[in-house]
Structure 1
Amino acid sequence: MSIVLGARSAAAAVLCVAATLVAALPAAAAPVPTDHPLGSQIRVHEPVQRMVAAPPVALATVSGMDVASYQGNVDWNYWWSQGKRFVYVKATEGTGYKNPFFTQQYTGSYTVGMIRGAYHFALPDRSTGAAQATYFATNGGGWSRDGKTLPGVVDLEYNPYGATCYGKTQAAMASWIRDFTTTYRTRTGRDAVIYTSTSWWSQCVGSASFATANPLWVARYSSTVGTLPYNWPYWTFWQYTSSPLDQNYFNGTTDRLRVLANG
């Protein structure tokens, strides 16, 4: 009998110690932001039409691309020879990630003659829009009136770590976006371009309108651009494929692209 009681006492002591250790552990931290390229989560959640050639569009367009750390040190002379005349380079994600290849990609494209800009992959559940806009503007997302620097982009798409809309209501998401765009304008003097898909915007933002101030960069991997997000009458950029890398159109002539760069 004493042996049984002793065993029970020992087991209880072990359970008590285990419970104490578990209670002492910190809450699980959110995953550290890593490199999610522009549109990476849209391609996971939405149909992708594989195309062997660029979709037909109006003649007044400019061909461009976007890159992130996955492309490493880019051969900009090659892409210039392929007709690419502008590029957006990933700079930041959340407030904890900076593209380690940003300098080569951002300055290299500029040197070869491309009009370039930077983009930020937003994580609206991690910190305020103001905090992320400040982080972006400080780490590559700035702007200068040199005729070759485009306004920065806030990349708004499906959450790579959890709930599609980052646990926010449509009203809360719209408020977060306004916090970002207002802060970015204060820091740089420019209105940020908004990158998104119509499906994600409809689910997570709804009928909040940003069309008056913020140019639209729409992601749709198809032969047509389709329906645009709420209240935008036209697209400024269209990401139409991710093969062999992300490729885009600017909706206008090269002169109009320079006007956008100059503000």
Structure 2
Amino acid sequence: MTGLRGRAGIAGGALIIAALGGFAIPAATTTAPALAATTPAQGTDVSSLQHPNPTSTIDWSAMASSGMTFTGVKASEGNYYTNPYYAGSVAKSYEADAQQAVNAGLYVTPYIFANPYPGNGTAAQQADYGAAVIKASTSPAYSGNHMLPVTLDIEPDPYVNQESNSNACYGLTQSAMQAWISQFITEIKKDLGTSKAPIIYTTADWWNACTGNDTAFSADPLWLASYGVTNPGLPAGWNNYTIWQYGQGTVGGISGIDENEMGPVLQVARAGTAIGTVRLRTLNSLAGQAVTYSATGLPPGLTLSAGQITGTPAAGDIGHQYTVTVTPSAGAVPSSISFTWIIHGALTVTSPGNRTTTAGTPVSLRVAVSDQDGASYPPTITASGLPPGMVINKSGVITGWPTMPGTYTVHVSASDALYASGSTTFTWTIAAAANTGFTGLVRQVGGTAKCLNDPGAATANGTLLNLYTCTGGTPQAWTTVQDGTIRAQGKCLTVFHSTTVELYACASSGSANQQWRAGTDGELVNAQYGTCLYFANASAVNGSKPTMSACQNSTSQT
């Protein structure tokens, strides 16, 4: 490790010991949603964080009694930190969490917190480092019936400021992150065997942003972290999660501990379109044991075989919801899996085509949306990338007065309550307004009544303005243009560095520091800074230069 990431020397690894999700998601306390007709298998995950001092222990029997059937136990981080509580140490009074959990009847997945930031070891080195902890002579046998696959914990970099949107991808490009994950999984399979496919713990936002929506790992079990929702969004490539970390609560006498359950809870499919494979798993099958499955309630057109649901929902089966119950073979945990399956129709958003509008011209445009799910499920329509000054309502009508010239990429999306969705993208060019409009004087109202003046009718960029006795001549002829600019000699009234007022070439792509509006007391308010054109003295003499100041009902403001 190098630089600020050299945390291994901190006593107890105090800053690198969080349980799964400790850095990925804001703290929240929720309850598991009640979509399923049966109670999913419940689980938790722990690290040294659950041991406030070396001799503190976790009551694993209480965990089991509270309904927990599985747990994650942190094994390592990067190539620099071993969780002393994974295997434990009699000499140092560290409890062996993995073994104690197995003894209490829980299934255990050792998890490795990845730190791909350069200087923390390669992907293969971090896999080897974690595998050594998992295979240590003091650890429970990885081949045991209650040992689940190892989990790769890959989430936002905990050592950057998430609030300021710092690089959460460890400084890697999307392709480099894809390669890193692939190399880790290849190496961990070499270290621990290929009979148990590694579990991937992540969040949808992080995965899509940092791997570029990579779908190469969709066959691996997904441990999804998503709090405060009833139907979590999935990372690219996965059609369902195996485990869902849905919140935090009090479990086995420990407060603020992660809560997890096995899935899936909800599935959605489009009528007449083949579904992506939905893989069913139990704790037993994850542990490498043979499990068979049977199902009732599947939508027509779908079948279950070898633990995988595939097929195409019937074309006319729009708007129907099914309760699917899957029964694994005897002794499996969970003993029953129940979830809802919704069949929706096609939702189409029609592009209005690329648009061109002159700045300052009113706009009213409806984006056409067709939804087979019918009037009972009206779509909600949203848009991103609209030119400044324009908005879209939930019915898809875009209105407003565009102010900023330029070319904008507009993305319109629609979705309904049955999870049907569609989108379209088009460009909207806002052309600069012509140098036409009402022309008149800009006076200091209530003070000297003198006029804003362009000395010598100058046209050079950076010409400083002043206040001067009104003459009505060319230096005092200001044109208000429909794009919100105020112009003289074809140049725009401009604010630079928040206070300096001058003439400058009108920006072809628009600029908020060249846009003005009338204040409630007749002031001129700049759009970028929200401040008013101002003279320091209500009785300003000829040649006094304007500046910008907080708006107030004052005779010194124009």
TM-score calculated relative to the size of structure 2: 0.40
Whether the 8 Å CA contact 2:135–2:142 is kept in 1: the answer is no
Structure (1/2) with the larger strand percentage: 2
Match for residue 92 of structure 1? 76
Match for residue 150 of structure 2? 152
Match for residue 117 of structure 1? 109
**What is the number of equivalent residue pairs in this alignment?**
232
Match of 1:140 among 134, 138, 144: 134
Deviations 1:75-111 (A, max 9, x none): 0011111000111100100111111211221011000
Alpha-carbon distance, 1:212 to partner: 4.0
Match for residue 170 of structure 1? 174
Q: Which amino acid aligns with 1:215?
A: P
TM-score calculated relative to the size of structure 1: 0.81
Corresponding residue SS for 2:99: helix
Whether the 8 Å CA contact 1:237–1:249 is kept in 2: the answer is yes
- Please give the root-mean-square deviation of Cα atoms over the aligned residues, in Å: 2.2
1:20-31 matched pairs, under 5 angstroms = 28=3, 30-31=5-6
Higher Rg: 2
Task: Say if 1:29 and 1:246 are closer, same or farther in 2 by CA, change over 3 A.
Answer: closer
Q: Which amino acid aligns with 2:123?
A: G
Corresponding residue SS for 1:239: strand
Match for residue 448 of structure 2? none
Structure 2: how far apart are the matches of 1:184 and 1:222?
32
Task: Say if 1:71 and 1:29 are closer, same or farther in 2 by CA, change over 3 A.
Answer: closer
Question: Does residue 75 of structure 1 match 2:50?
Answer: no
Alpha-carbon distance, 1:57 to partner: 4.2
Match of 2:249 among 243, 253, 257: 243
Q: Which amino acid aligns with 1:56?
A: A
Alpha-carbon distance, 1:117 to partner: 1.4
Deviations 1:109-148 (A, max 9, x none): 0001111110011000122111111111111278733321
Structure 2: how far apart are the matches of 1:180 and 1:186?
10
Structure 1: how far apart are the matches of 2:135 and 2:169?
24
Task: Say if 1:225 and 1:118 are closer, same or farther in 2 by CA, change over 3 A.
Answer: farther
Task: Say if 1:28 and 1:221 are closer, same or farther in 2 by CA, change over 3 A.
Answer: closer
Match of 2:19 among 37, 40, 59: 37
Structure 1: how far apart are the matches of 2:135 and 2:184?
13
Task: Say if 1:91 and 1:225 are closer, same or farther in 2 by CA, change over 3 A.
Answer: farther
Structure 2: how far apart are the matches of 1:141 and 1:205?
30
Structure 2: how far apart are the matches of 1:38 and 1:219?
9
Task: Say if 1:116 and 1:134 are closer, same or farther in 2 by CA, change over 3 A.
Answer: same
Match for residue 29 of structure 2? 50
Whether the 8 Å CA contact 1:222–1:240 is kept in 2: the answer is yes
Structure (1/2) with the larger helix percentage: 1
Whether the 8 Å CA contact 1:134–1:184 is kept in 2: the answer is yes
Corresponding residue SS for 1:248: strand
RCO greater where, 1 or 2, for CA within 8 Å and sep 6 or more?
Answer: 1
Corresponding residue SS for 1:35: coil
Structure 1 stretches of 4+ with a deviation exceeding 4 A read none
